[in-house]
Amino acid sequence: MSIGVFLAAVYVSRLQALSGRRPKSLVQVDGRPIITYPIQAMLSAGIDSNTVVVGYRGREVIEALGELYPKIHFAYNKDYSGENATSIFAAREHLLNDPFVVAMGDHLISTGIIKTLLVRNSSHPAICVDGAATHESQISDATKVWVDSAGMVMGIG
């Protein structure tokens, strides 16, 4: 069984024009909170055990998603101004020893990407990278991933 983990803890001021003081994962896209898109992608890929890591204004995220997804779990990251790894660590009690797929709560992802990860059925960690990112905001804000000529990850930072 795989578990979905959604990172929705951080406060980001650059989206304040869109979100006001709401958590960015609750910004509306086509009439629904943006975080519902990656959650739905996980569910469509067959991952039905999902945990959302909250922090900044977490109660709002819990209330909004709890109504939509009554079976979803929540973890609280008290150090939500830290790096993404602190949010994954905050979800550890929900992960047990099962494999898990991490998605950002404000990124649109496809079910196909998740299915590709799941069929790998490997004991090795995998990461999906948008190698076609060209817009300056994608490049400057993204987590950088260095790969060798075989596509193996050599560093993340």
Neighbouring C-beta atoms of residue 146, cutoff 10 Å = 10
| Nearest partner of 127 among 140, 108, 144, judged by Cα | 144
Residue 137 or 102, more confident = 102
**32: pLDDT strictly greater than 90:** yes
What is the signed CA dihedral for 140, 142, 144, 148, rounded to 10 degrees?
A: -110
For the stretch 108-135, pLDDT in tens is: 899 998 998 888 766 667 777 767 777 7
**16: pLDDT strictly greater than 70:** no
Considering just the CA atoms, what is the radius of gyration of the chain in Å? Answer: 15
Residue 82 or 45, more confident = 45
Q: What is the pLDDT of residue 30?
A: 94
Distance CA 127, CA 102 (A): 9
Report the relative pairing of strands 100-104 and 50-54 from DSSP bridges: unpaired
Instruction: Give me the residue label for tokens 């910004």.
Output: 27
**6: pLDDT strictly greater than 80:** yes
